[in-house]
Structure 1
Amino acid sequence: MTTHLSRRTLLGLAPALLTGMAACTKDTEPGMRLTVVTSDWNGWDRDHTPTPVTQEIEPQRGTQLHIPIGGESLTMIIIGVSRSAVRVTTSSPMAPRTAKGGLNLNDLKSTFTVNLDQATEFSTASMDSGHHFVLTLSRR
């Protein structure tokens, strides 16, 4: 079954579609705070104590965070801001956290959505040592 939309229908929908897309691509949303907690882990040392580092920023599209991980730097860039979420992209693919708390090393991602008052968690793609990232979005 094929559905065809008339030009009139498409033109009528255009303002609604553009308004919806604009809401997801604001430059900033005043009163919001993005918190990024980075902590290291080491699978070889059972006595390893993580050293968490916290960064808090007002999310603005285009803002870059440079996070030292090992001898390198991971860059996170805010690519979208709305009233209820922020989208970030990472300079390296990351392993998302699963619902059971593990890592999905088979489905690496570079773009993540951080919803208001919900933690978004991912880690460097490694089985022996690396860094965990926890991002949360809140209102001030």
Structure 2
Amino acid sequence: MTTTTRHLLVAVVLGPLALTGCGDDAGAGAADVPAQMLTIEASDWNGWDPEHQATPEVTTLEVEVGATATVESVGEEITFEVTEVGDGEVEVSSDQRLAPSGESGGSNLNDLVEEFTVVTGEETSLATPTLDAGYSYLLTLTRR
């Protein structure tokens, strides 16, 4: 085998391997990260009608900073906004103060929040801060 033949053989065999390292990898990581979805289930309730049937309304949005969802609230609407996105959690703010779930059930009316964290695999439960009637909000984060 001559030197020219060997060089040609090396170019034919190794040429395609050298080209696999070329290209733009700028967007390579973006496709690997699955989109996260935030689901908000709003259910009405009242404290005086034992026959009351809640009418849940479900809103889902793809998570990105600035994404908003507007849902029903006591006689008006409430807007939730994604303010920060992390891997497996998001920071959310609301335009109304809400009561988080208490440790032993019910709502904590003494520690109202406008900003809170929703974590994948955990439910975040909030409610309008009222004692007679209102809305409960169940927020969940999932990967799409």
Q: Among 75, 78, 96, which residue is 1:74 paired with?
A: 78
The question of 1:38 aligning with 2:27 is answered no
Q: For residue 20 of structure 2, what is the aligned residue in structure 1?
A: none
Q: For residue 97 of structure 1, what is the aligned residue in structure 2?
A: 101
Q: For residue 91 of structure 2, what is the aligned residue in structure 1?
A: 87
* TM-score, normalised with respect to structure 1: 0.76
Question: Match of 1:75, SS?
Answer: strand
Report the CA distance between 1:106 and its aligned residue: 0.7
Q: How much is the aligned-residue C-alpha RMSD, in angstroms? A: 1.1
Question: Match of 1:47, SS?
Answer: coil
Q: Among 58, 66, 69, which residue is 1:65 paired with?
A: 69
The question of 1:50 aligning with 2:74 is answered no
Q: For residue 26 of structure 2, what is the aligned residue in structure 1?
A: none
Identity of aligned residues (%): 38
Report the CA distance between 1:68 and its aligned residue: 2.0
Q: For residue 16 of structure 1, what is the aligned residue in structure 2?
A: none
Matches within 5 A, 1:127-138: 127-138=131-142
Structure 2, unaligned runs of 5 or more: 1-32
- Asked whether the 8 Å contact 2:42–2:137 carries over to 1, the reply is yes
Report the CA distance between 1:34 and its aligned residue: 0.9
**Equivalent residue letter for 1:87:** E
Report the CA distance between 1:87 and its aligned residue: 0.8
The question of 1:123 aligning with 2:120 is answered no
Residues in 2 aligned to 1:31 and 1:91: alpha-carbon distance in whole angstroms: 25
Q: For residue 3 of structure 2, what is the aligned residue in structure 1?
A: none
Residues in 1 aligned to 2:47 and 2:57: alpha-carbon distance in whole angstroms: 19
Structure 1, unaligned runs of 5 or more: 1-28
Runs of 4+ in 1 over 2 A off after TM superposition: none
